[in-house]
Structures are given as C-alpha cells and as structure tokens.
Amino acid sequence: MYRITILANSALAVRLFLKTPFFDLLKKDKNNYIKVFTTSGNLTKSFKADNVKIFSIKRWFFLNKLGLKREWLIPLFYKLKGVFDCDIMLFAEWATPESFAILKEAKNKKIPTLFVQEGAMNPTDDFPVNLYPDKLAVWGDVAKGIYIEKGIERSKIFITGQPRFDWYYEFKPSDLKLNRPKRVLFASQALWRYPDSYVDADKIISDTIEIIARVCRELGLDLYCKLHPSDNEKLYKIEGVKILVDPAVSKKKQTKWFCSTGYDPDISDLKNLVKLISSFDVVITMLSTLGLEAMILKKPAIFFDMAEYYRNSQINIKLKTEANFAFVHNEQDFRNLLELYIKNPEAHLTQAIDFLYKFLYKDDGKASERLRNLIYDELRYNIASNK
C-alpha cells in the first residue's frame, strides 16, 4: 500500500488536489492510503472515502490569540496527526513559513517530496527559499525554465500539465447557449493584499474597474465581476458592475442571472467555473490565472495591467513577453481590443493557442494521469532503493 500525504494549506491547494480528476484517480486506487492536511475547513464530508483521511486545523486558529504562530501551530498539529507517516509528501506550495517547516523536517526524515504547481504564480517570489522539494511537477516549458533559472536541476523538473484543466478538455463550450446582449466577465485578484509587490493596488483596481465599466456601458455590454475568494467586494461596487459572489466567500448575494443559468452557483467548484467562463463573450483580468483558463476555452482574454505589475514576477514577465497581444495598459488600447474581440471572437485564437502550449504543455485531458504516474514512479523507485 502507498501512503500518500497531501498538504492542502490553502483554498488553491484544495482546488488542485481535491477537486480534479487527479484526486479521483488516487482515491479510486484502493492500494493508496491518503492523508490530507488542510487549513481550509472541514472537508471530510465532501471527500469521504475508506482510503482517505482528512485533518482540518481551521477550528484551532483561536490559539493565535494566545500568541502561537501559524508556523508553530500547524506543523505541530500535523505532526501529532501523523503527517510524516507516509511514503511521499505532496505540496501545492511550500514557500510559506508553516509549509517550509514541514518540508525541512520531511527532508530530515528522508521522505520523498513533490511540488505540484497549482497556479501561474511562482511560489518563491514573495517568500524566497533555498530549499526545494525533491521533484517538481510543473505546467509547461515556461515554469520549467523559471525553476532552472533558480538553480533546480533539469532532471528534477517534470512537465505534466495542470490536472484541473482536464475538466476543460471534457467540457464542450458549444453546449452552452450564449445570451444577449453580449456579456463581459472581469476576474478580480486581491493584489492590494501584497503592498510590497503591488504598490497602490487598491487605487489601481478601482481605476481599472471604473474604466472597464464605462467602456462596457458605452459599447452596450453587460459587465459581471467574479470575485477572487480573498478579494474585497467594496472595490467593485461601481455602477454597471454585477458582482458574482463566490459562495466560498459569502452566500448572501447571488445575482438572478447567475442563479438562472441552470448550474450549481458554487463557482469555486471547477466544473461550474468552466461553465461560468464559457457563458461569457470576453474575459478581462489584471494578472489572474483565469485569463489563461478563458483562453483554453477559446474565449478572448484581455490582461488590463495599468500599473504594469507584470514587471514584479518572473511568470508575469513571461506572460507579457509571450502574450503581448493580450496586454493593455491604458483605456484607449483596452477599448480597441475589447471592440475587436466583440466583433471578431476568433481574432486571438492562433496566437493564443501557440502561447498556451508554452505555459500548459498540452490540453489533452491527461494531466491527471501524467501526475499520478509520476507519483507512482517515484514511489516504486524509492521502495526499490530502500530494499
């Protein structure tokens, strides 16, 4: 039996490990015993299986009031619950104090460790580290190049694609009828939470959404905003903006249009997110991965980066270099590109597809299988080596 530990220390990690075909593959193999350690609430009911055990630490956070830090509390709780009793440990991120502490101890105990890239952002940008997991499973050539530049050996980096995009391969956008008038989706991101990297982000966000709302009004387009789970709804309370509140944040508000589309309004669920994106004509974001997701679904995407924040991280520099056609930095260029995409939705397709494969390897619905096979290869190798 393979004992697999999964660290899902964020909503993003949960979305990678538990809401994709990848987790279903692991769970269905009864030779696996899976322990999931999470700070994202009690997930036991949602992912119950005989060979899956989920430990949630959310209810322990009241101890912070006693002066205990996350980097002390979380590793201690996980250790008491057997986080190191495994044959391999999976990380969606390790560049946080608590995850880094667990990684260091796993290394000391000679437990094989694997980083699985969840989002477009490089996890070591905000928390520089000099210790990496044993192997890295990344989206595509761009991410591999970034980690090679950081000094990681090529032989330790494996391109698998992104398991959550397997949903996108299975879903057929043509199955969803578009309503009229044409609709535009703005995907927010809580850049204001990182003042060192994104200076004056709250003002930039407000100015950006005001421009988008004004242009959409003048072009006769309906504008919706999908809030990032950690974003502030107040920044988007502007005339003409209909806010789609993720129930992971709040269940108080859901628009009539959103609830009438015929699918579960929990847009933190991946399959429903795919349907959500596909129901819009154009997707706009600042620096969100959702822009890439829209492009996978052959939806025109615009990265509206007024402050040129892409300069602040390697992955965004690559985005700017490779997807310059989709980046705009002022109102006039934004208006021109939006008008182009509304009139000709396929104007972006050829360059978008070439660009995507550099980031995402291939959209064949088999990323989950490649990641599972990589894990099994690593397990078999380590078991053979220890005999």
pLDDT single digits (tens) 106-135: 999 999 999 998 876 666 766 678 889 999
Cα–Cα distance, 85 to 39 (Å, whole number): 19
Closest CA to 61 of 44, 47, 74: 74
**b/e per residue, 186-215, with b = 16+ CB within 10 A?**
bbbbbbbeeeeebeebbebbbebbbbbbbb
> What percentage of the chain carries pLDDT values higher than 70?
80
DSSP notation for 241-307: EEEE--TTT-SS---HHHHTTSS-S-TTSHHHHHHHHHT-SEEEESS-THHHHHHHTT--EEEE-TT
Position 221: which residue type? L
Q: What is the per-residue pLDDT for 259?
A: 41
Q: Is the dihedral of CA 233, 122, 294, 348 positive or negative?
A: positive
Assign 58 a pLDDT band (cuts: 50, 70, 90): low
Assign 203 a pLDDT band (cuts: 50, 70, 90): very high
Global confidence as pTM: 0.76
pLDDT single digits (tens) 30-42: 999 999 888 765 5
Yes or no: say if 17 and 92 are a contact pair by the CB < 8 Å rule. Answer: yes
Q: Which residues contact 44 (CB under 8 A, 6 or more apart)?
A: 54, 56
- β-sheet bridge partners, residue 222: 183
State both tokens at 277.
């994106």
Does domain 169-360 bear CATH number 3.40.50.2000? yes
User: Which range among 194-208, 241-255, 270-284, 340-354 has the greatest average pLDDT?
Assistant: 194-208
- β-sheet bridge partners, residue 52: 34, 49
Closest CA to 262 of 139, 175, 140, 143: 175
User: Which range among 14-23, 203-212, 258-267, 309-318 has the greatest average pLDDT?
Assistant: 203-212
pLDDT at 140 over 50: yes
Q: 2-161+363-385: which CATH number, 3.40.50.2000, 3.30.460.10, 3.30.9.10, 3.40.50.720?
A: 3.40.50.2000
Residue found under tokens 């002022």: 330
Q: Where in the chain is the domain with CATH 3.40.50.2000?
A: 2-161+363-385, 169-360
Q: Cα-flanking dihedrals φ and ψ of residue 318, to 5°?
A: -65, -40
Q: What is the per-residue pLDDT for 2?
A: 94
Cα–Cα distance, 322 to 387 (Å, whole number): 47
Assign 60 a pLDDT band (cuts: 50, 70, 90): low
Q: What is the per-residue pLDDT for 270?
A: 56
Q: Which residues contact 151 (CB under 8 A, 6 or more apart)?
A: none
User: Averaged over 226-247, what is the pLDDT?
Assistant: 78
Yes or no: say if 182 and 343 are a contact pair by the CB < 8 Å rule. Answer: no
Cα–Cα distance, 77 to 82 (Å, whole number): 9
Region label for 233, one of left (φ > 0), alpha (ψ between -120 and 50) or beta (otherwise): alpha
Yes or no: say if 378 and 114 are a contact pair by the CB < 8 Å rule. Answer: yes
Yes or no: say if 371 and 150 are a contact pair by the CB < 8 Å rule. Answer: no
What is the biggest distance separating any 2 CA atoms in the chain, rounded to whole angstroms?
70
Assign 226 a pLDDT band (cuts: 50, 70, 90): confident
Q: What is the per-residue pLDDT for 200?
A: 93
Q: What is the per-residue pLDDT for 151?
A: 87
Q: What is the per-residue pLDDT for 73?
A: 79
Yes or no: say if 306 and 207 are a contact pair by the CB < 8 Å rule. Answer: yes
Distance of CA 49 to the CA centre of its chain: 25
> What percentage of the chain carries pLDDT values higher than 90?
33
Q: What is the per-residue pLDDT for 72?
A: 78
Report the run of H or E that residue 19 belongs to, with start and end.
Answer: none
User: Averaged over 5-17, what is the pLDDT?
Assistant: 75
